[in-house]
Amino acid sequence: MTTENNLSENEENKPSAEHQETVVESIGNNEENHHDEDHDAPQHDSIDHLSLVDALKEMEKIINSNNAGERFREFNALKEKANHIIHDEVEDKKHEYVDAGNAPENFSYEHPSQSKLSGLIHIFREKHDNFQKNQEEEQKKNLEQRQSIIERLKNLYTNSEPGVNLFKSIREIKEEWSNAGQVAKSEFKILNNNYFHHLNQFYQMLDMNKEFLEQEYSHNLEKRQHIIARAKELENEPVVQKALNELQYLHKLWKEEAEPVAEEFREKTWEEFKEISNKIHERKTELSAAIETEQNENLEKKNEIIAEIKKLSEPKDNPNHNYWQNSIKRVEELRTEFLKTGSVPRKLSNNNWNDFKTILRGFNTTKNNYYKSLKGSQQQNLEEKMKLIQTAKDNMHSEDWDIAVALFKKLQEDWKKIGHVPKSMTNKIWDEFRDACNTFFNNYREKSSASTDNWKENYKLKKDILEELKAITDEDGSIEKIEALKTSWNNIGKVPRDKMTINSEFNRTLREKLKLNKINELELKEEGLSENQLTDKARKIKSQISDLEAEIVKLENNLSFFKNPSRENPLLMETYNTIDDKRAHLETLKQNLHSIISGD
pLDDT of residue 229: 93
CA diameter of the chain = 135
pTM of the predicted structure, to 2 decimals: 0.38
pLDDT of residue 122: 93
Gap between the Cα atoms of 523 and 584, Å rounded? 12
pLDDT of residue 321: 75
Domain limits of the chain? 53-59+70-99+110-208, 210-344, 383-528, 529-599
Gap between the Cα atoms of 280 and 283, Å rounded? 5
Q: What does the angle CA 500 – CA 505 – CA 509 come to, to the nearest 5 degrees? A: 155
Note every long-range contact of 428-437, with CB atoms under 8 Å and residues 24 or more positions apart, other chains counting.
429/382, 429/385, 429/386, 429/389, 432/389, 432/393, 433/385, 433/388, 433/389, 433/392, 434/531, 436/389, 436/392, 436/393, 436/396, 437/392, 437/396, 437/408, 437/411, 437/412, 437/531
Distances (CA, A) of 90 to 39, 96, 107: 33, 10, 10
Among 40, 129, 118, 42, which Cα is nearest to 82's? 118
DSSP code per residue over 234-267: HTT-S-HHHHHHHHHHHHHHHHHHS----HHHHH
Q: List, in sequence order, the alpha helices (H) in 453-528.
A: 455-470, 478-491, 501-516
pLDDT of residue 2: 31
Give residue 391's identity as a one-letter amino acid code.
T
Gap between the Cα atoms of 575 and 555, Å rounded? 7
Give average pLDDT by consecutive 10-residue segment, the chain, 600 residues.
30 32 34 39 62 90 89 90 89 85 87 91 91 89 91 83 76 89 88 88 73 80 91 85 86 81 87 89 77 85 89 81 85 89 85 88 84 74 87 87 84 84 83 89 73 71 86 81 79 77 83 78 63 71 82 80 73 78 77 68
pLDDT of residue 320: 78
Q: What does the angle CA 517 – CA 523 – CA 525 come to, to the nearest 5 degrees? A: 100
Q: What are phi and psi of 261, to 5 degrees?
A: -130, 170
